[in-house]
Amino acid sequence: PPPREDRPAWQPPAAAQPLAPRAPQRQQPREEEEDDANSYDSDEGTTLGALEFSLHYDQENSSLHCTLIKAKGLKPMDSNGLADPYVKLHLLPGASKSNKLRTKTLRNTRNPVWNETLVYHGITDEDMQRKTLRISVCDEDKFGHNEFIGETRVALKKLKANQKKNFNICLERVIPTKRTGTTGASRGMALYEEEVDRGGDVEERGKILVSLMYSTQQGGLIVGIVRCVHLAAMDANGYSDPFVKL
């Protein structure tokens, strides 16, 4: 009988039982920290990032002030997992250089803080009713072509004269253009304007080499897709899975 009483005495492993709760208590804060770190770039619901800026139409001086404040969680564009971002403004419609402005470039960051104001002069009330401001975030490449990250567009008619309006918007890859025309002619003109306005992004999104030949024997147009270079990275690994559609 005495040895039987000694056996339960070996149950002090009960002392090991309090160790069980200690492990989860230590892991919980780590998980919370990891969640916070991972959610920092995804809390805006986009993989391209978010841009904070403000617009102010000074009616008396006929000027439009665009203050680029900062961006958060920009898509990594360089091999080091960072980017060299800058912001480019473009008043649409219009293809002249006077319609385009840009900020300085900030190096090696996905969370740039510009606090830079760009000003368009000679803006009329008519311009405010019919023009749209395109705001593009790009990555500067010293040894190659600048790469497009994302954009947003603001119809200037949404602004009230002499009142600053703040924006915090998720960037998008392509902003669909609304075409109000119903006739073939008006739709064709809208398409033409869109092609002209977007012409400045050829170097940023990539280049494609194609060949065209009309065959009288076959009675058809032969399109040859040769190659593409400097395509914008579309996947998280910095690459793309491209195909061409005609």
Q: Hey, what's the torsion of the CAs at 33, 37, 42, 44, to 10 degrees?
A: 80
User: What is the distance between the alpha carbons of residues 71 and 68, in angstroms, rounded to a whole number?
Assistant: 9
Q: What is the pLDDT of residue 193?
A: 35
Euclidean distance between CA atoms 30 and 24, whole angstroms: 10
| Confidence at residue 87, expressed as pLDDT on a 0 to 100 scale | 95
| pLDDT at residue 175 in the model | 53
All residue ranges of the chain with pLDDT < 50 are 16, 19-21, 23-45, 176-204
Burial bucket for residue 117 (CB in 10 Å: 0-12, 13-18, 19+): middle
The pLDDT assigned to 40 comes to: 35
Partner residues linked to 51 by β-bridges: 71, 169
Q: What is the pLDDT of residue 233?
A: 67
Task: Tell me, yes or no, if the pTM score tops 0.75.
Answer: no
Q: Which position has the token pair 């009713």?
A: 129
In the prediction, which pLDDT does 70 show? 95
Q: Which residues contact 225 (CB under 8 A, 6 or more apart)?
A: 208, 210, 244
Confidence at residue 109, expressed as pLDDT on a 0 to 100 scale: 93
Q: In DSSP terms, which residues pair with 88 in a beta bridge? A: 102, 136
